[in-house]
């Protein structure tokens, strides 16, 4: 993140916490908002949240590491979620996940070194009739297979090249 | 404003819509995944290109997931027709054909809602709907979920108006008499819960709606909230009035952004017209509802864990008693029910208990809502009277198994439920019969499996999930599920011994006994039921190192049938990520088993006219490799 971005995010964090003071929001909604702004939960931001709520940082950390929704590292530019719900599992979701791990050379939960891709397994996105499903940047790819998953990466790879 | 005026205004608006041509597009999350938003844009563009002013309304889901994107075109004095699997490409045809012209585009139609002697199927007579009985899903997909007037014009908030004229005790009595049982899974009597919260000391009291649908493979709560959010809100307000609460929360997963949007919008509209907030409908009763976003944890579905999350803590269950009705959110009396449970309330109050109790079995009243997924013809959402047999759900409603494969089992209730085999297909669906079979109603997710699904692997899949989702509080759940998982890992990789089966069984029983909450107590269900109904498969894995369904990776090998391989084709070679396939131009291809990573890509790309690649288990059954023309597979 560039300096300007950081400044803007710090401001945004301030706004989120100020708003909390006025509305008495719970910890989870605050962390969700912080994550929406930063893309993940930076340690500094979590400390700040603890300070404002008057709770120990470890309690914020406890919640941040408990719930699946929270991430402690930044996501890649193209975030890929592979559904591992029951229907997707039966339809071969694991092969899709393995194909992506192989192709992107990262493991589930990691972000590629160049920051272009990150890979996550999610429990169910509720599109069981389209199983197995993966999601790249909010676009749903239905009825995947290892081969189709590899092919779906092509446009994202090309788009990321000019910036290298 | 008095309710009659509100209703009249709503009915006028609804009638006005029905008297003009309009288009409904199913745009719940599932519809959107299938491309509904593109279809909506296409209709907008096409209508404006043709100079038409036709309302295009995104609606919820009618539960026919296989037919998405689903479009309903209504024309006054003409048939109301539903069209299935509509993509952008069909839009000009529909606009020119049916909206502008008189051609009902039957080739795209699913059916009509009016009886007609033309060749359009009558939707209520489709096999699926003949066996369904819709109470809480009855409006979904037919009304605009973002327009409170649509809900009111279709009977909505009439029950609230009626309830506010009753005494709270009277409402609780009605709910008790209706026999309504909680739809969150455990099936506790709703009326009793309401009663104890009503009698509990402490103010303020809270009403919480549990919309933390964490079961992988269940999405009915999401669909109800996306399609008909007011139904749940109305149930919550009535509950608030009955137990004496002024504040309610809907705890919904952050993974459901569309549901959250639609609830937020519904709450705002409710406050605007005075159905929610201060002095509701002039009764003096005040009730506010807020949204509490969850952050995804399966254990949060457990009532005390959910309350912990709402209070900003780790979602860990606690010992009961005290029950939530006495000490819930912030230590105050709290009524917590599932989305579906609240959704039944307006129907029970509005239509009367007789209507409700006439549906279902003696001990399980009303209907059950299921999501149907897996290897079936028509996945989707179904609402059936309690007591319907599983066989009817599979063959009448879900349209039978996909590709006419053999039915093997159905997993009901997700990771907490169990696998039910073919031999039990005739048991009636109700809370108690399912429990007897070792499964449970649970969340209501049904996943159908066929002969290509491995029972052991499925049990392993669920244990992998529960082991990850265990909050860690109870040792038996935290360590026990991991231990079960590691034994299942051994079985699926061919490293297990027969004694391990007894260990699995014993450990499962111990975990059930030694865990505090439903997650741990039900986590072994998938193992116990598969052990009970598919013991042969476990034995095959252990004794023969064979996976009968050809799923478990370590027990299978990919093999190219030499007699079927087309020598000229090189598809498999081109895609193999480990360069395990050998064979030059014009040669038969051979897989080097040592290099093969069993990714399955070759099998997928082998052209259907050859189907030369198969899976073999056990691996020792692999035919010896015969190499043609010198170049050897081993040599690679």
Is there a contact between B65 and A129 if contact means CB atoms under 8 Å apart? yes
**Chain A residues with CB inside 8 Å of B465's CB?**
123
C-alpha to C-alpha distance for B528 and A127, rounded to whole angstroms: 28
C-alpha to C-alpha distance for B440 and B512, rounded to whole angstroms: 14
C-alpha to C-alpha distance for B370 and B218, rounded to whole angstroms: 8
pLDDT at B444: 87
Mutate to test the interface with A, among B254, B306, B439 (most CBs of A within 10 A): B254
Q: What is the DSSP code (8-state) at residue B415?
A: G
| Spans of all domains in chain B | 13-131, 156-356, 367-453, 456-543, 556-621
Å between B634 CA and nearest CA of chain A: 24
Residue B104: pLDDT over 50:
yes
Residue B186: pLDDT over 90:
no
Class of the CATH domain delimited by B556-621: alpha beta
C-alpha to C-alpha distance for B589 and B604, rounded to whole angstroms: 15
| Spans of all domains in chain A | 3-66, 78-160
- A31-49 pLDDT, tens per residue? 999 998 888 999 999 999 9
- 8 A C-beta contact, residue B207 and residue B245: yes
Distances (CA, A) of A95 to A98, A156, B90, B166: 5, 20, 34, 58
**Strand B367-374 to strand B380-385: parallel, antiparallel, or no bridges (unpaired)?**
antiparallel
Question: What would the two tokens of residue B500 be?
Answer: 């391990």
Residue B427: pLDDT over 80:
yes
Confidence of residue B78 (pLDDT cuts 50, 70, 90): confident
CB-side neighbour CA atoms (13 Å) of B602: 30
Residue B636: pLDDT over 70:
no
Is there a contact between A66 and B214 if contact means CB atoms under 8 Å apart? no
Of A99, A126, A147, the CB nearest to B219: A126
pLDDT at B214: 85
- A119-150 pLDDT, tens per residue? 999 888 878 888 999 999 888 898 999 999 99
Confidence of residue A10 (pLDDT cuts 50, 70, 90): confident
Of B293, B314, B375, the CB nearest to A29: B293
pLDDT at A164: 44
- 8 A C-beta contact, residue B87 and residue B39: yes
pLDDT at A23: 64
Confidence of residue B277 (pLDDT cuts 50, 70, 90): very high
C-alpha to C-alpha distance for B551 and B311, rounded to whole angstroms: 43
C-alpha to C-alpha distance for B356 and B347, rounded to whole angstroms: 8
Cis ω on the peptide bond leading into residue A109 (within 30° of 0)?
no
**Chain A residues with CB inside 8 Å of B458's CB?**
86, 89-90
Q: What is the DSSP code (8-state) at residue B393?
A: I
pLDDT at B632: 45
Å between A94 CA and nearest CA of chain B: 9
CATH architecture of A3-66: Orthogonal Bundle (1.10)
Measured between its terminal Cα atoms, the distance across chain B in Å is 83
| Run of H or E residues at B47 | helix B36-49
Mean pLDDT for the stretch of residues B361-384:
94
C-alpha to C-alpha distance for B317 and A74, rounded to whole angstroms: 31
For B156-356, which CATH superfamily applies? Answer: NADH-ubiquinone oxidoreductase 51kDa subunit (3.40.50.11540)
β-bridge mates for residue B383, sequence order: B369
Residue B634: pLDDT over 50:
no
Q: Which residues of B232-256 are buried (b: 16+ CB within 10 A; e: fewer)?
A: bbbbbbbbbbbbbbbbbbbbbbbbb
CB-side neighbour CA atoms (13 Å) of B303: 27
- 8 A C-beta contact, residue A108 and residue A118: no
pLDDT at A80: 95
C-alpha to C-alpha distance for B275 and B279, rounded to whole angstroms: 9
Confidence of residue B114 (pLDDT cuts 50, 70, 90): confident
Mean pLDDT for the stretch of residues B265-278:
97
Of A26, A53, A87, the CB nearest to B310: A26
Mean pLDDT for the stretch of residues B140-167:
97
- 8 A C-beta contact, residue B547 and residue B540: yes
Mean pLDDT for the stretch of residues B253-262:
91
Mean pLDDT for the stretch of residues B465-472:
95
3-class secondary structure for B269-332?
A: HHHHCCCCECCHHHCCCCEEEEEEEECCCHHHHCHHHHHHHHCCCCCCCCCCCCCCCCCCHHHC
- B331-363 pLDDT, tens per residue? 999 999 999 999 999 999 999 999 999 999 999
Confidence of residue B442 (pLDDT cuts 50, 70, 90): confident
**Chain B residues with CB inside 8 Å of A125's CB?**
29, 255
Confidence of residue A13 (pLDDT cuts 50, 70, 90): confident
- 8 A C-beta contact, residue B560 and residue B554: no
Å between B168 CA and nearest CA of chain A: 31
- B26-68 pLDDT, tens per residue? 999 888 888 999 999 999 999 999 999 999 999 999 999 889 9
Å between B189 CA and nearest CA of chain A: 28
The residue with greater pLDDT, B628 or A155, is: A155
Tell me if the domain spanning B456-543 has CATH number 3.40.50.2300.
no
pLDDT at A22: 63
- 8 A C-beta contact, residue B60 and residue B226: yes
Q: At how many degrees (to 10) do helices B220-227 and B229-243 cross?
A: 100
Residue B174: pLDDT over 50:
yes
Residue A3: pLDDT over 50:
no
Mean pLDDT for the stretch of residues B434-462:
92
- Domain covering A78-160, topology: Glutaredoxin (3.40.30)
**Chain B contact for A109, CB < 8 A?**
no
Share of chain B above pLDDT 70, in %: 98
C-alpha to C-alpha distance for B25 and B32, rounded to whole angstroms: 10
- B507-537 pLDDT, tens per residue? 999 999 999 999 999 999 999 999 999 999 9
Is there a contact between A68 and B296 if contact means CB atoms under 8 Å apart? yes
Mean pLDDT for the stretch of residues A58-73:
93
User: B13-131 — its CATH code?
Assistant: 3.40.30.10
Helices (DSSP H) in B431-498: which residue ranges? 431-436, 455-469, 475-492
Confidence of residue B148 (pLDDT cuts 50, 70, 90): very high
Mapped onto helix, strand or coil, the DSSP state of residue B291 is strand
Å between A7 CA and nearest CA of chain B: 27
CATH of range B367-453; options 2.60.40.1180, 3.20.20.70, 3.10.20.600, 3.40.718.10: 3.10.20.600
- Closest chain B CA to residue A59: B313
Please name which of B499, B512, B511, B527 lies closest in space to residue B419, comparing C-alpha atoms.
B527
The residue with greater pLDDT, B442 or A154, is: A154
Confidence of residue A7 (pLDDT cuts 50, 70, 90): low
Of A31, A86, A129, the CB nearest to B216: A86
pLDDT at B403: 92
- Closest chain A CA to residue B455: A90
Please name which of B241, B231, B233 lies closest in space to residue B171, comparing C-alpha atoms.
B241
- Closest chain A CA to residue B549: A90
Mapped onto helix, strand or coil, the DSSP state of residue A88 is helix
**Chain B contact for A73, CB < 8 A?**
no
């Amino acid at each position: 993140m560039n300096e300007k971005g950081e400044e803007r995010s710090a401001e945004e964090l301030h706004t989120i916490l100020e708003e909390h003071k006025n509305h008495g929001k719970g910890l989870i909604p605050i962390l969700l908002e912080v994550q929406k702004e930063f893309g993940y939960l930076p340690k500094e931001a979590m400390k700040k949240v603890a300070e404002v709520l008057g709770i120990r940082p470890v309690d914020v950390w406890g919640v941040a590491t408990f719930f699946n929704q929270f991430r402690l590292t930044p996501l890649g530019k193209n975030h890929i979620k592979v559904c591992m719900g029951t229907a997707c599992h039966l339809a071969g979701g694991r092969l899709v996940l393995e194909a992506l791990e192989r192709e992107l050379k990262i493991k589930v939960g990691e972000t590629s070194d160049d920051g272009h891709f990150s890979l996550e397994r999610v429990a169910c996105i509720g599109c069981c009739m389209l199983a197995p499903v993966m999601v790249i940047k909010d676009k749903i790819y239905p009825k995947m297979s290892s081969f189709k998953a590899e092919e779906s990466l092509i446009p994202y790879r090309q788009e990321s090249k000019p910036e290298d | 404003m008095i309710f009659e005026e509100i209703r009249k205004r709503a009915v006028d608006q609804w009638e006005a819509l029905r008297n003009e041509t309009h288009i409904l597009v199913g745009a719940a999350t599932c519809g959107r995944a299938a491309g509904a938003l593109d279809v909506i844009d296409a209709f907008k563009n096409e209508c404006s290109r043709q100079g038409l002013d036709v309302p295009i309304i995104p609606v919820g889901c009618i539960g026919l997931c296989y037919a998405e994107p689903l479009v309903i075109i209504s024309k006054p004095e003409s048939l109301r027709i539903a069209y299935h699997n509509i993509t952008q490409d069909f839009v000009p045809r529909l606009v020119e054909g049916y909206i502008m012209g008189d051609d009902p585009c039957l080739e795209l139609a699913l059916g009509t809602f009016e009886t007609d002697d033309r060749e359009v199927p009558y939707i209520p007579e489709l096999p699926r709907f003949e066996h369904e009985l819709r109470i809480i899903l009855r409006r979904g997909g037919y009304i605009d979920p973002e327009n409170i007037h649509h809900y009111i014009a279709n009977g909505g908030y009439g029950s609230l108006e009626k309830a506010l004229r009753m005494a709270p005790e009277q409402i609780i009595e009605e709910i008790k008499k209706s026999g309504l049982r909680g739809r969150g899974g455990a099936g506790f009597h709703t009326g009793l819960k309401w009663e104890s919260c009503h009698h509990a000391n402490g103010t303020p009291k809270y009403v919480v709606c549990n919309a933390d649908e964490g079961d992988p493979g269940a999405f009915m709560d999401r669909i109800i909230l996306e399609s008909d959010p007011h139904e749940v809100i109305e149930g919550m307000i009535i509950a608030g009035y009955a137990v004496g609460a002024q504040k309610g929360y809907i705890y919904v997963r952050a993974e459901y952004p569309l549901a959250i949007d639609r609830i937020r919008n519904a709450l705002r509209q409710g406050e605007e017209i005075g159905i929610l907030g201060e002095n509701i409908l002039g009764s003096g009763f005040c009730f506010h509802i807020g949204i509490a976003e969850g952050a995804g944890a399966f254990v949060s579905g457990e009532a005390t864990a959910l309350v912990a999350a709402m209070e900003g803590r780790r979602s860990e269950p606690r010992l009961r008693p005290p029950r939530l009705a006495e000490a819930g959110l912030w230590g105050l009396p709290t009524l917590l029910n599932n989305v579906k449970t609240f959704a039944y309330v307006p129907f029970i109050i509005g239509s009367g208990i007789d209507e409700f109790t006439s549906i279902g079995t003696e001990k399980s009243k009303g209907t059950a809502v299921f999501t149907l997924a897996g290897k079936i013809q028509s996945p989707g959402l179904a609402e059936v009277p309690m007591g319907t047999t599983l066989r009817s759900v599979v063959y009448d409603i879900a349209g039978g198994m996909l590709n006419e494969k053999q039915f093997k089992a159905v997993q009901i209730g997700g990771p907490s439920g169990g696998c039910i085999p073919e031999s039990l297909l005739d048991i009636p669906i109700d809370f108690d019969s399912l429990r007897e079979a070792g499964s449970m109603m649970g969340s209501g997710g049904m996943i159908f499996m066929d002969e290509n699904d491995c029972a052991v692997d499925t049990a392993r899949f669920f244990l992998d999930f529960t082991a990850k989702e265990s909050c860690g509080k109870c040792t038996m759940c935290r360590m026990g599920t991991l231990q079960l998982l590691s034994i299942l890992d051994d079985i699926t990789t061919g490293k297990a011994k027969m004694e391990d089966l007894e260990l699995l069984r014993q450990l499962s029983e111990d975990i059930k006994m030694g865990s505090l909450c439903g997650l741990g107590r039900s986590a072994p269900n998938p193992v116990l039921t598969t052990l009970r109904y598919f013991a042969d498969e476990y034995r095959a894995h252990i004794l023969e190192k064979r996976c009968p369904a050809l799923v478990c990776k370590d027990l299978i090998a990919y093999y190219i049938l030499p007699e079927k391989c087309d020598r000229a084709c090189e598809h498999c070679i081109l895609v193999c990520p480990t360069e395990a396939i050998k064979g030059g131009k014009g040669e038969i291809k051979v897989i080097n088993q040592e290099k093969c990573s069993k990714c399955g890509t070759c099998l997928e790309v082998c052209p259907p006219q050859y189907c030369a690649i198969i899976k073999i288990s056990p691996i020792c059954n692999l035919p010896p490799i015969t190499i043609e023309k010198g170049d050897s597979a081993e040599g690679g």
